[in-house]
Chains A and B, each alone.
Chain A
Amino acid sequence: MLPTEIGMEVTEVITNKSKLDSYINTEKKIDYTLNDIKDNFKEAYKSPNSSMLDYKNIQISNSEFAKLRNLRSYSQYIDKYIYKYKETGVNAVDAAKNLHAGLE
């Protein structure tokens, strides 16, 4: 494979990785917003049912947190992959940059 071809691949992986990071951040924001809504709901509806709902809320929040950890670990894994390419000596990232510079 030509360095430029590897470069294109790595560029795409880097682009997709940065998109994944942006989705992870959105997910984090959703998590915070959901918690705010849950607090507002607790204010709007006070009843013996509230503590039961609160218990379920905590369970759902825990599973949300686990999902974020999964996504972060995928993101880190992709980072490792990109790093390995950088170490190959082909310097694929530079090749990708040059290719992009040439196209611009």
Chain B
Amino acid sequence: MIEVNLKQLREAINSYNNVIKTLEDNNTAIINNFNELGKHWQDERINKLSASFNLESQRALKLEKNVKSQLAVYREVAKGYEAIGRQVKCNLSGQDIINAKIDNIINKINNIIARYDSLGDISFYPRAYLIRSNKRKMKLILKEFKTIKSELNKKFNDIREIENSVQKKIAAIKVEYITVNNYEREE
């Protein structure tokens, strides 16, 4: 079962955008802070710490990249489902059952229309207009059910496409590990 609440999704994306902005600012501040530290502390110890911190700043940027790739997945989900509706509940495996049920109705309507056709020339019958009117109604209902079937299948296919696309995006996320350097133990 797939369940999507677009309002909540948009809220999560907005919060994520704000967090990424804070993360970017904080990472820039951390890097600047270390550079500043190096100006006032000059010995072999700060050299060692700076070398280690250069790696740390690269890792900070990797973290940003990891987090941003996750936001891209959130956006992909929202972008896809925006065209479907505000609240989506769908069981993709139910498509065949629904199609079979609609086909069953369509077949029954076709049978009724065929029976109207089998009446042959009814012009002699004073209330023939009623029969013709009912036959027209049946044809309209048939058209409606065909439209419903086509629209439902389009929705199912759209959802399947979104899910496949999201799945590919998630699979493409390559988490770059930030290993524990632990400067203390290097001493």
Contact = CB atoms under 8 A, between A and B. Distances in A.
Contact of B56 (A36, A43, A62, A71): A71
Given A63-B175, A73-B181, A44 B12 contact: yes
Nearest to B14: A37
B49 A77 contact: yes
Interface residues of B, number: 58
Interface string A7-33: 011001100110110010011001001
A76 B30 CA distance: 15
Nearest to A77: B183
Indicate the size class of the contact surface on chain A: 35 or more
Contact of A30 (B4, B26, B49, B187): B26
B113 interface: no
B51 to A, nearest CB: 12
Mostly, the B contact residues are: helix
B9 A60 contact: no
Contacts, number: 148
Interface in B1-35: 1-9, 11-12, 15-16, 19, 22-23, 26, 29-30, 33-34
B178 A64 contact: yes
Contact of B182 (A63, A69, A78): A69
B180 interface: yes
A49 B41 contact: no
Secondary structure class of chain A's binding surface, majority of residues = helix
A53 interface: yes
A78 B36 CA distance: 13
B53 A63 contact: no
B26 A81 contact: no
Interface of B: 1-9, 11-12, 15-16, 19, 22-23, 26, 29-30, 33-34, 36-37, 39-41, 45, 49, 52-53, 56, 59-60, 62-63, 66-67, 70, 73-74, 77, 163, 166-167, 170-171, 173, 175-184, 187
17 contacts: A9-B40, A19-B29, A30-B22, A34-B16, A37-B19, A40-B11, A43-B8, A44-B11, A45-B9, A46-B3, A47-B2, A49-B167, A56-B175, A63-B176, A64-B178, A66-B177, A69-B180
